Structure 1
């Protein structure tokens, strides 16, 4: 059996009382790095819940990483096969 492969995704937050910013970074085994950002804003009438802002901002940053990974993978498939590949969306 082949050795297990793992990736580490680093997510850091910058917050104030109204806005949360998440910065995500993943380093891939080929040496490339993908970076993304996600944001969440608190409506003035909402309670201050920093964890919820972090979850929303992180989800948005990770969603952007997902899109970047799909693009990278399809570019590699296209380069190796000489044809255009299409992602399956669900």
Structure 2
């Protein structure tokens, strides 16, 4: 059996104390699904950009996972109707 390959790109933008991440998953057939995440550093905390990147990226992947599960649920419903 041939393994399927899905690609993910992660885009990280920092603006002041805020980090925004967009995770874009592209399936082998070209379907694209996006998840977003955000992190905000408390101004009283020491600036460690990697922490904001990790937190915002983790949130983007959680969002992406939720969207994938929702998409699968819709596909299941459609398949049952066509049954």
Both proteins in one fold, TM over 0.5: yes
1:17, 1:48 within 8 Å by CA — same for their partners in 2? no
- TM-score computed with the length of structure 2 as normaliser: 0.90
What stretches of structure 1 move > 3 A for 4+ residues in a row? Answer: none
Structure with the bigger RCO (C-alpha within 8 Å, sep 6+) is 2
Q: What is the TM-score when the length of structure 1 is the normalising length?
A: 0.83
Determine the C-alpha separation between the residues in 1 that align with 2:6 and 2:27.
7
Higher helix share: 2
Structure 1 residue runs without a partner (length 5+): 83-90
Shift of 1:6: 1.8
Name the structure with the higher strand share.
2
Structure 2: state its 5+ residue gaps: none
